[in-house]
Every structure is written in structure tokens, then in C-alpha cells.
Amino acid sequence: MKGLLLSTLLLVPLAAYAAKPLQSPWDGKPVTLTNAPYACPAIEHLSADLTTSGFYSDGKSSIIDPVKWKAYVASAGPIKRLGQQVVDAADAYRTTGSRAAAECAIAHMEAAAKDAVITGKMSSGQAYYVQGWVIGAVAIAYLKVRDSGLIRPDQAHLILPWMVKVVHQTMDYYAAHRVRRKGDGSNNHLYWAGVEISAAGIAANDRTLFDWGMASYHDGVAQIQPDGTMPLEMRRGRRALHYHLFALAPLVYLAEFGEDNGLHLYAERDYAIRKLAKLSTDGLVDNSFFTKATGIPQDLPDGAPAAEQISWAKIYVARFPSPVIQKLLAQAKSLSYMYLGGLPPVSGLGNDLSQSHNRQVGATSRERRP
């Protein structure tokens, strides 16, 4: 009965929107299959439940407690490792054409679906965030390999309903969370949930899920002030700049998903997202605005920008050229960020070979996020 219900969740939207399937930035960009080898990690069977907690020690969620952080890394590590392994394999396929890499990504997704990973009890808000980041990454990885011709129908009928089930949990969480917290649900967490849910919606051709993600973009852009700041992120003290960047990244991906499906989201509210992008990237060069606005020295910049801070800009500058952003991209050692499904999409036809030098494993090793 459970399997029948999940199949119904998948097949109804597929039938309803078969005439105009939802598109992703990776569709229509064929990759030529090769025999390039790929060392696929062993499949790890994980629990349906996730027990983890937050790691900040202050009311602004700006100071990391080392003990809590250690516990968080240990408890969330296995599920994040799954996400990293899937996106690494998907990117290896996109950059080298490796059949073995694509099959590796598909095999890990299939095993996770069979195990019903992260479909059970989430112990805390932090557990829901981790659940969303990982399933969002997996959904994007699925989009990267779905045109490979290597996903069998039986595998798709396992993987897609699993993703749909997880994102419905996310939707239920945010429905309750935003009522309970009276608007706090409109911060960066909501936009990350939007990426997760819209990516799964595109994969399953589920317009309801896709529209939920687009609505989160509208909520996010509504938060952007005339000077480019976001009040809920500005409250984060020494991490205000960090969280502006952390809010911007999913908003750019949501805008891109929208553009791929006929929605001109970048233009919303007179291109408000451009104000956020300029303020945030200028802050990576000189954070004095954020220091003055919060009265607290910022914890960024701290050298070359990490993938989590700048990988989104690879697609952004294709639409809105910026010498400042181009320089930051050139300084980055990697553009592979697991929460965004690994490497960003590239413009034009052909495979993602041009990004192969930026495909680095372990892009989450520097993470410092809620």
C-alpha cells in the first residue's frame, strides 16, 4: 500500500504535465558517454530517522559552540556524506562523460530510496534543515544525470517517489514553522527549502512542488530592502554578511529554475536580487558596510571565497556581468558546493568539461551554517 501511494504521488503530476514538462538548466545539454573510470564509494545503508541538533551558543546564532559543533558533525555527517557522494558522481559524469560515474550516482540514489533514508522522524529544526539540504542536492544530481539514458524505469519509480515524500515533509514543516514563529520562516531556510522542493518538482514534473519553490523566491525577494539588505539576515551579528550570501545562493538558483520554465524572476521588484548580489559580493571585498550596520566585526572575508559563498555567481554573471564577481570567481579554489548539487550549471550546449578543474571533493569541509 505504501509503495502504491508513493507511485500515485509521482504518476499524477507526470500525467498532468506531460504536455509541457518542467525543465532544468541541465536539460538539452547532452553529455557524450565515455569509459572514463570512476571509483564509486561503497553504499552505506542509512536510517529513515535523523537525530541532530544546532550548534550555536548565542541568541543571534552567530557564535559556534565547539562541543555542539562536534556533535552536529558526527550526527549529520553520514547523511551529508551521502549527498556529497551523489553530487560528486553526477559532476564526474557531467565533466568527463563517465558512464561509471553516472551509474554510481544512480546506484546511491536507488539504495537510499530503498532504505527510505530521511523519510522518518526528524529530531529538531536542524534535522529538517539537513534533510532539506541533502535531498535538494540529490534532486539536482538526478537532474544532472537524467538525460544520460542510464536511469532504468524501475529505478526512476523508486527514486522519484522517495524524493517527493521527503519534500512533502519539508513543506509540512515550513507550514507549521512559519505560523509558529510569525514570519521567521521567511529567512534563508525557506529559500533553501525552495531549491530542494522545486528541484524535486522539476525531476518529478510536479507543478505543485515547483510552484512552492517559486513562492519561496517571491517571499525572499520581498525581504530585500532598497539598500540590498535583508532584515532577518542582518540580525545575525558577526555572521550578517555570511547569511546574506547564504540567502542569496538559493535565490539565484530559484530564479534560474524559474527562467528555465518561462518565469522571469530576476526582474521581480525591479531586479531587487541584483541589489542583494552587489551588496553581498562587495562585502566579500570590503565588509565595512556590514560591520558598521551591525556594530560587530564580520567573520568574512577570510581569504579566497569558498564555494558556498560564490559558486552561485557562475550562473549569475552569465546574465549580469560584473568585474567584481568575475574576480571573486577566479579566486575561488572550488565551485563545487554540495548544498547546490555540486558544480553550477553552465551556459550553452555541450557538456560541463570546462568546469572539471573546479570539481573538488569535500566542498562542505569549511561549513559554518545553521
Q: What CATH code is carried by the domain that includes residue 254? A: 1.50.10.100
Average pLDDT over the chain, rounded to whole? 89
Residue 94 in any domain: the answer is yes
pLDDT value of residue 5: 36
pLDDT value of residue 11: 44
- Per-residue pLDDT at 210 exceeds 80: yes
Residue 283 in any domain: the answer is yes
Domain count, the chain: 1
Query: What's the CA gap between 334 and 360, in Å, rounded?
Result: 6
Share of the chain above pLDDT 70, in %: 86
* pLDDT, tens digit (0-9, with 9 covering 90-100), for 334-369: 999 999 999 999 864 445 765 654 555 443 434 444
Query: What's the CA gap between 207 and 148, in Å, rounded?
Result: 23
- Per-residue pLDDT at 27 exceeds 80: yes
- Taking CA atoms, 214 is separated from 166, 171, 221, in Å, by 18, 13, 11
**Between these two residues, 9 and 328, which has the higher pLDDT value?**
328
Residue 12 in any domain: the answer is no
Q: How many CB atoms lie within 10 A of CB 51?
A: 13
Confidence band of 65 (pLDDT split at 50, 70, 90)? very high
Confidence band of 253 (pLDDT split at 50, 70, 90)? very high
Taking a C-beta distance cutoff of 8 angstroms, is the pair 336, 311 a contact? yes
**Residues 6 or more apart whose Cβ sits within 8 Å of residue 271:** none
- Per-residue pLDDT at 19 exceeds 80: no
Residue 15 in any domain: the answer is no
* pLDDT, tens digit (0-9, with 9 covering 90-100), for 153-180: 999 999 999 999 999 999 999 998 764 4
Query: What's the CA gap between 139 and 181, in Å, rounded?
Result: 28
pLDDT value of residue 255: 98
Containing domain of residue 326, as a range?
Answer: 24-349
pLDDT value of residue 350: 43
pLDDT value of residue 223: 95
Least confident of 58-62, 65-69, 133-137, 340-344: 58-62
Residue 135 in any domain: the answer is yes
| HEC secondary structure over 309-351 | HHCCHHHHHHHCCCHHHHHHHHHCCCCCEHHHCECCCCCCCCC
Average confidence (pLDDT) over 192-221: 97
Confidence band of 260 (pLDDT split at 50, 70, 90)? very high
Share of the chain above pLDDT 90, in %: 81
Average confidence (pLDDT) over 94-99: 98
pLDDT value of residue 370: 43
pLDDT value of residue 62: 81
- Per-residue pLDDT at 71 exceeds 60: yes
Q: How far separated are the first and last CA of the chain, in Å rounded?
A: 37
pLDDT value of residue 347: 63
Confidence band of 17 (pLDDT split at 50, 70, 90)? very low
- Per-residue pLDDT at 14 exceeds 90: no
Residue 303 in any domain: the answer is yes
Rounded to two decimals, the pTM is 0.90
Confidence band of 183 (pLDDT split at 50, 70, 90)? very low
